[in-house]
């Protein structure tokens, strides 16, 4: 598919032209007045460069948007999916706790049989 390379080249070229045209446009204030010149001795005349840069901006933006829409159509850049050929991640097995250990707390926290929790901890109990 040689034509996809041509479309990608046009897309990149339109992006570069669009960025350049936007950066070259003067702001609302007169750019010549900032640098000490107020006369319009430019090659395009007093407002000619703004018209050319404005037209270039619109054309480059239109071409870029149209090519972006063309690239979004399935099958234009090929039938291959992004995930095609990728391996599935290996399944990680989680250890399953046995039922005996899940229902009974560990022996260190369990009080001894026949004693109250305070006696098992070594604290003396008061007579009742």
Mean pLDDT of 1-18: 90
Q: Which carries the bigger pLDDT value, residue 86 or residue 114?
A: 86
Rounded Cα–Cα distance for residues 69 and 46 (Å): 37
Token digits of residue 105: 């707390």
Three-class DSSP category at 36? coil
Burial label, 77 (beta-carbon count in 10 A; 0-12, 13-18, 19+): middle
Q: What length is written for the chain?
A: 128
Give how far Cα 40 sits from Cα of 29, 47, 54, 83, Å: 14, 9, 18, 57
Better pLDDT: 104 or 66: 66
Q: What is the pLDDT of residues 30-89, one digit of tens each?
A: 555 556 555 555 555 555 556 888 899 999 999 999 999 998 887 777 776 667 777 777
At 14 the pLDDT is 95
| 89 or 16: which leads in pLDDT | 16
Residue 97: other Cβ atoms inside 10 A: 9
Q: Which residues contact 65 (CB under 8 A, 6 or more apart)?
A: none
């Amino acid at each position: 598919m040689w034509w996809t390379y041509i479309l990608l080249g046009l897309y990149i070229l339109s992006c570069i032209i669009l960025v350049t045209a936007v950066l070259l446009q003067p702001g609302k204030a007169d750019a010549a007045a900032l640098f000490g010149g107020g006369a319009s001795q430019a090659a395009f005349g007093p407002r000619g460069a703004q018209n050319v840069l404005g037209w270039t901006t619109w054309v480059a933006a239109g071409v870029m948007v149209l090519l972006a829409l063309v690239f979004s159509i399935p099958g234009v850049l090929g039938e291959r999916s992004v995930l095609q050929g990728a391996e599935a991640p290996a399944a990680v097995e989680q250890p399953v706790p046995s039922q005996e250990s899940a229902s009974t707390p560990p022996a260190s926290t369990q009080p001894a049989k026949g004693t109250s929790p305070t006696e098992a901890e070594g604290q003396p109990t008061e007579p009742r």
